Structure 1
Amino acid sequence: MVIRADGPADEYREIDRFDGGVGWIAHPDEAMQRASHVLEIDGDAWVIDPVDAPDVDDLVAEFGEEVAGVVVLSDRHARDADAFGERHDAPVYVPSFVTPELSGPSTPFSDELEDTGFEVLRAVDVPGWREAALYDGETLVVADAVGDTAYFTAGDERIGVHPMLRAFPPNSLRGLEPARILSGHGPGVLTGAASALDDAYRTARRNIPRVMANSLKSLL
C-alpha cells in the first residue's frame, strides 16, 4: 500500500453519505485515505477539499443544481480545488488565515462561509500548519485535526486526533457536540459523533504510544 498515490485516480470509493451530503476517497488503496466531501446547502453544492476522480461530478450533482463554491480548509489541502473550480466555474474559497498553494485565484472568508451557516473554527494555527474547520451545530468538517485511518486511531477510538497534535489537542474542537464528523482523511462518524469526539480528546495523550506504533506499521 502506497502512502499517497500520485497521478490521476482510476476510481473512487463513496463514504459518509447522509441527507445533506456525501464524501469520497479518490485513491481507495492509499494509506493517507484522502477524503473529499460535497454538502448541499440551500439547493447548491459546496465541494470541500476535493481530490478528483472519474465520474465524481455525477456524485456531486446529486447534492445541488450547481457548485456554489469549492472550499480549501488547510494549507496542505490544495489538492484538486483549482481544477474543480475551473470545471464548474465556481469560486475557490479559503479561510483568511490559511495559505494553500493554489494556481488560480481564491476568495478569502473569515467568520462564516458566505451565508451557509457554517462557522469557521481555527483548528490549527501555528507556523507551518494552518487549518480551519467548519461547524453549523450539526456537521463538523475537519481537514487534518481528527481523522479515521490506521495512523490516526488506536484502541477503541472511532476517530482520532492527528498524531502530531495528540500531546496538545486543539482547543477549538473540544466540547463540540456535532451530529456527524466529516474528515479529510478516512471515513467520518455519522452516529454518536459527539461522544466519539469526546473519546478522541480523552484518549489523545494516553494512546500516543499505540498511534506511533500504528504509524510506523503503516509506513513499513
Structure 2
Amino acid sequence: MSEDESAERPTLEAITEWDRGIGWFAQPDEDAMRGSHALATESGVWVIDPLDAEGLDDRLSELGEVTGVAVVHDRHTRDAEAIANRHDVAVYVPEWMDLTREKLQSEPEPLGDELPGTTYEIRRLIDTDEWEEAILVDEAGETLVVVETLGTLPGFCASDDDIGLHPTLDETPDGLADYQPERILVGHGESIYEGGAAELDAALDSD
C-alpha cells in the first residue's frame, strides 16, 4: 500500500473488544455512526460489512488470520474489496443477494447457510428489489448480527429503548422476534454486548 493510500484512511479510534471479536467506527463523529465488525472464529477472522481505517490490519492480526470479508446488506459494500485485497482473501455475499453483488466491482464468492468453518448461520431477513439483508446467528455463542434493520441511534429507538427498528420499516421482519441473544451487533450505533434478549424484546414490543 502506498503512503498516499494510507493517508486517505481515517485513523482507527473507536474500538470495542469482546471475547470473540471487535467492533469499530472508522468515523465515530458521523451522524450515521456506521459500525463494522470482525468475528474471531475457529476458521479464522471474518470481517463483516467493514469500513477501512488506518491501524485496522494490526487489530485484525491480533485476532488471527483473516479468512474472508462478508457483505450482508446491499448498502454496506463499503470498503470490503479494499480490505479483502490487502489480506488476499475473497469477498463473500449470500448467494441470493443479487443487488449486493451488482454493487461490487468483482464477482464475490457465494455464501450458503453458514459462514464456512464457523458456528454462524446465515439467514435471510429482507429480500426486495430495494433492500437485501441477511443476519448472522450464532446460537451457541448467543450472538446476533443485524447490520441495518436494528440500530441503537436515536432515530431507531422509541421511548427509552436502547435498540430499535430502522425508521423506514413499517413492521418487524418475520422471525426477528424469535431470537434470544446475549449480544446484538449492529451496523449503526453502539452494539449491545449483554442483555440483548431483553433489549430486543422491549424494542419489538414498542414497535
User: Does TM, normalized by the shorter one, top 0.5?
Assistant: yes
Change over 3 Å in CA distance of 1:49–1:8 after alignment to 2: farther
How much has 1:154 moved relative to structure 2? 2.8
Q: Residue type matched to 1:103 in 2? A: Q
Matches within 5 A, 1:135-150: 135-137=137-139, 138-150=142-154
Aligned equivalent of 2:187: 184
The question of whether the paired residues in 1 share the 8 Å contact of 2:10 and 2:54 is answered with yes
Matches within 5 A, 1:3-152: 8-42=8-42, 44-64=44-64, 66-98=65-97, 99-100=99-100, 101-137=103-139, 138-152=142-156
Aligned equivalent of 1:199: 202
Aligned equivalent of 1:172: 175
Structure 2 counterpart of 1:154, from 141, 144, 158: 158
5+ residue gaps, structure 1, are: 1-6, 205-220
Please state whether the residue corresponding to 1:47 is helix, strand or coil: strand
Q: Which moved more, 1:172-181 or 1:33-42?
A: 172-181
The question of whether the paired residues in 1 share the 8 Å contact of 2:121 and 2:136 is answered with yes
Residue by residue, what CA displacement relative to the aligned partner does 1:109-130 show, whole Å, maximum 9, x if unpaired? 1211212121111121122101
Report the TM-score when normalising by structure 2. Answer: 0.89
The question of whether the paired residues in 1 share the 8 Å contact of 2:40 and 2:46 is answered with yes
Report the TM-score when normalising by structure 1. Answer: 0.84
The question of whether the paired residues in 1 share the 8 Å contact of 2:43 and 2:67 is answered with no
How much has 1:142 moved relative to structure 2? 1.1
How much has 1:158 moved relative to structure 2? 1.1
CA distance in structure 2 between the aligned counterparts of 1:169 and 1:75, rounded to whole angstroms: 19
5+ residue gaps, structure 2, are: 1-6
The question of whether the paired residues in 2 share the 8 Å contact of 1:21 and 1:63 is answered with yes
CA distance in structure 1 between the aligned counterparts of 2:105 and 2:43, rounded to whole angstroms: 28
Aligned equivalent of 1:218: none
The question of whether the paired residues in 1 share the 8 Å contact of 2:38 and 2:46 is answered with yes
What percent identity do the matched residue pairs reach? 43
The question of whether the paired residues in 2 share the 8 Å contact of 1:16 and 1:182 is answered with no
Q: Residue type matched to 2:178 in 1? A: G
Q: Residue type matched to 2:74 in 1? A: D
Aligned equivalent of 1:3: none
Q: Let me know the Cα RMSD of the aligned residues.
A: 1.5
Residue by residue, what CA displacement relative to the aligned partner does 1:169-202 show, whole Å, maximum 9, x if unpaired? 1122112011100011111111100011111111
